[in-house]
Homo-oligomer: A and B are copies of this chain.
């Protein structure tokens, strides 16, 4: 695992044990919602407050350390910020996979056609994963 202490500090976030545990959980699990994240954290820190989860999620989003991923018919999940990517969501088992899709050409076209300057995309493709079809 990466050195998240410095990584947090570079984002002006104090490297507290709680915060490191959250980051670690996201690193290991990839995408988590507030509920599952709290469920995991309460095991490590028996007295951690749910408010701590929310406060950290919010400030880490603010500092661009993590990202929210909004999913159809499901709670949002959070993940460590990485290079821009899209998501595959299995409607049956709920699995979420990262997928690299090069959208540059498409964005360029849409940008011109619609006179719209695009600088971010949120792309979720839903269906059935390998194991669920």
Measured between C-beta atoms, what is the minimum distance from A46 to chain B in Å?
A: 33
Tally of this chain's copies: 2
Measured between C-beta atoms, what is the minimum distance from A91 to chain B in Å?
A: 8
- A118: chain B residues at CB < 8 Å are 88, 125-127
A interface with B by C-beta (< 8 Å): 68, 70-72, 88, 90, 97, 99, 101, 106-107, 110, 114-130, 133
Q: Is B121 in contact with A126, judged by CB distance below 8 angstroms?
A: yes
Q: How far is the CA of A122 from the CA of B97 in the complex (A)?
A: 15
- A97: chain B residues at CB < 8 Å are 114, 116
Q: Counting chain B CB atoms within 10 Å of each CB, which of A88, A122, A125 scores highest?
A: A125
- A115: chain B residues at CB < 8 Å are 129-130
- A107: chain B residues at CB < 8 Å are 125
What residue of chain B has the Cβ atom nearest to residue A115's Cβ?
B130
Question: Given A70-B71, A116-B88, are A123 and B121 also a contact pair (CB < 8 Å)?
Answer: yes
- A119: chain B residues at CB < 8 Å are 126-128
What would be 28 A-B contacts, judged by CB atoms less than 8 Å apart? A70-B70, A70-B71, A88-B114, A88-B118, A90-B116, A97-B116, A99-B110, A101-B110, A106-B106, A110-B125, A114-B130, A115-B129, A115-B130, A116-B125, A116-B127, A116-B128, A117-B127, A117-B128, A117-B133, A118-B125, A118-B127, A120-B126, A121-B124, A122-B124, A122-B125, A122-B126, A123-B123, A123-B124
